[in-house]
Amino acid sequence: MSSNTIPRQRSRSSRQPTNLIQYIQDVGQITVATLLGATMLGSSIAAGGLVGLAISFRNLPDVRVLRNYLPSETSYIYDIKGTLLYSLHDEANREVVDLDEVSPHLKRAVLAIEDSYFYSHRGINPSSVGRAVLANLQAGSTVEGGSTITMQLVKNLFLSPEQSISRKVAEAVLSLRLEQVFEKDEILEMYLNQVYWGHNNYGVETAAQSYFNKSASELTLAEAAMMAGLVQAPEDYSPFVDYAIAKQRQTTVLVRMRQLGWITAEEEAAARAQPLLLGEIKSFRSSVAPYVTEAVVQELKDIFGNDAVLKGGMRVQTTVDLEMQRMAEETVQRNHALLRQRGVSADQMALVAIDPRTHFVKAMVGGVDYTTSQFNRAVQAQRQPGSAFKPFVYYAAFASGRFTPDSIIQDTPVSYPDGYQYYIPRNYDGGFMGNIPIRKALEVSRNIPAIKLGQAVGINRLIEICRLLGIESPMEPVVSLPLGAVDLTPMEIAGAYATFASNGWHSDPTFIVQVTDSSGNVLLDNTPKPQLILDPWAAASLTDVLQGVITRGTGTGAQIGRPAAGKTGTTDSQRDVWFVGYVPQLATAIWVGNDDYSPLGTGATGGGVVAPVWRDFMMQATADMPVENFRRPSDFAKP
């Protein structure tokens, strides 16, 4: 049987359907003649005639609904380079393909074993059905099927699996109707995409990918014959369950194809002898980046709804680079173990890396081990950033036009009314440095200068800037806000620092580049549309000062051999420690702490605990990136 034996698909609009009951009445002679030949409707005709038959099937579904039928499909999530991260589906793991995307070998093999007269009958095959009816009458129950591919399709789509004469009659009537409305190729295409192939694989494409790790279009004769043999009892005949039985079924299919003259004896022998390389059961595989894909799935469900995500066959390109993601996960696990060895009582760690040029999330780790804790601390845990919040204050000061990195600030005692008492800020070391440049104050993370600058620019203005930067967590206009008296997620603070790295250009951070349906129609497009929201001179001035934090300040443990800017963060009682920093191409925030808010131990600081972790990750992540210098404040006009 040549590939031309199977006709090319024609437009589904080439025929106009009629009402089902009207059809039975109008073409009664054809229907009755066919069913009489099959002997299936003899008793019905004798009992009530055509009018009774029409009334009996008044409530049968209208097969025309299949013109708009969209079977549930598996959705796939990929990294930014197209590597599959995860697939998710409801009850059916399915990828719909066109008939011309199915190997001719598989089409022939399925037809040979399931319905070799498919292209010559009109929905039912009188001879095979006749044999089945006689066998069932003799046995007094349904013991033989005789169903055509058309009958199998309507049974799967419209009818219950009940084995009864009345259901078989309904199946026959619907099959005849289906053949009047749809072309043969259309019916075969629907069947191949609908049929169950075992191990939660619905449709030929997912089955081919699972059994042989290739597309249905690439199946060889040997592979196609084995797959075709599965249809009658997929799990029983599965090569994953019993390879010997699967080979027996393959032989049965090949013999039938040879008997029909669709393959030669030589082709049969070659197919039987061909070694088969099996794939793996893929329907229930876990994600290769679970913290990422769970966040992506949640975002998709918020936008499109649960059913669309689980059944809509979405193709989701994420922003994540799987190679960098693996670096991040390994960095977190390795350094968590090292910190425990050093006596740092840290149970958890989170990491977020964002490209400042696009605000695409390149890597995200929500915890040390997803298998033991699915809580995603990168996007769900709100923790105090401590001194990692100070850059927001210093940017506000520079943007006001009243301060430069070389302006002098007083690191001297101060107090502020706070209800019925006074708030008295203190430095980490308990001392004071007197008059110092703003640059120095931030490099060594003095608290009192940050408080004074906060008062100078206004706490409400500071909150406005944070909102511009995409920080949505609640903020109270308290005097201590410049010292990080607010709960933020690592994602929020990483996204804000990425805007500093881009000299004020901002897009909303996202995990998703684009979402399409299985036909390629774009459902969501997150092409970056950056907006300049910060003063470039002030942002460049802040970056200039934050470089000093790494070269000679509290963050020397974060030196990576190229220009980098960053800030340490340590909260009271050492409950949260941070390092957040960036190069022009990548901004990364790392948090270390405990879910129960217990302290990490005396002396645990962002510079001592987290800066080396940040250095470890950034050395790997930027290894193939060209060294770039930050733009200087002199490149921009001062406000």
Residues noted as catalytic: 114, 387
Report the relative pairing of strands 201-202 and 93-94 from DSSP bridges. parallel
Report the relative pairing of strands 531-532 and 505-506 from DSSP bridges. antiparallel
Give yes or no for a contact between 282 and 197, defined as CB atoms under 8 angstroms apart: no
The residues facing 437 across adjacent strands are: 408
- Closest to 76 measured CA to CA, from 63, 89, 67: 89
Q: How far apart are CA 359 and CA 506, in angstroms?
A: 7
Q: How far apart are CA 226 and CA 253, in angstroms?
A: 8
Cβ within 8 Å of residue 448, ≥6 positions away? 410, 411, 412, 413, 414, 425, 426, 427, 432
Q: Is 602 left (phi over 0), alpha (psi -120 to 50) or beta?
A: beta
- How many Cβ atoms from other residues are within 10 Å of residue 293's Cβ? 22
Angle of helix 265-273 relative to helix 221-228, nearest 10 degrees, comes to 80
Give yes or no for a contact between 392 and 312, defined as CB atoms under 8 angstroms apart: no
Q: Dmax over Cα atoms in the chain, in whole Å? A: 110
Q: What is the DSSP letter of 80?
A: T
Q: What is the DSSP letter of 58?
A: T
279 CB-contact burial (10 Å; exposed 0-12 / middle 13-18 / buried 19+): middle
Q: How far apart are CA 40 and CA 164, in angstroms?
A: 12
Give yes or no for a contact between 593 and 346, defined as CB atoms under 8 angstroms apart: yes
Q: How far apart are CA 477 and CA 458, in angstroms?
A: 9
Angle of helix 184-194 relative to helix 104-114, nearest 10 degrees, comes to 90
Q: How far apart are CA 53 and CA 51, in angstroms?
A: 5
Strand ranges across the sheet with 586-593: 360-365, 348-355, 586-593, 576-583, 565-570
Looking up tokens 């007269």 gives 117
One-letter identity of residue 410: Q
Q: What is the DSSP letter of 9?
A: P
Q: Mind giving me the DSSP string for 444-512?
A: TT-HHHHHHHHHHH-HHHHHHHHHHTT--S-----TTGGGT-S-B-HHHHHHHHHHHHTTTEE---BSE
Q: How far apart are CA 17 and CA 63, in angstroms?
A: 9
Number of H-type helices and E-type strands within the chain: 23, 19
Angle of helix 221-228 relative to helix 204-212, nearest 10 degrees, comes to 120
CA of residue 344 relative to chain centroid, distance: 35
Q: How far apart are CA 363 and CA 377, in angstroms?
A: 14
- CA torsion, ordered 92, 97, 101, 107, to nearest 10 deg: 50
Q: How far apart are CA 618 and CA 620, in angstroms?
A: 5
The residues facing 593 across adjacent strands are: 348, 576
- Closest to 621 measured CA to CA, from 590, 579, 580, 588: 588
Cβ within 8 Å of residue 247, ≥6 positions away? 226, 239
One-letter identity of residue 215: S
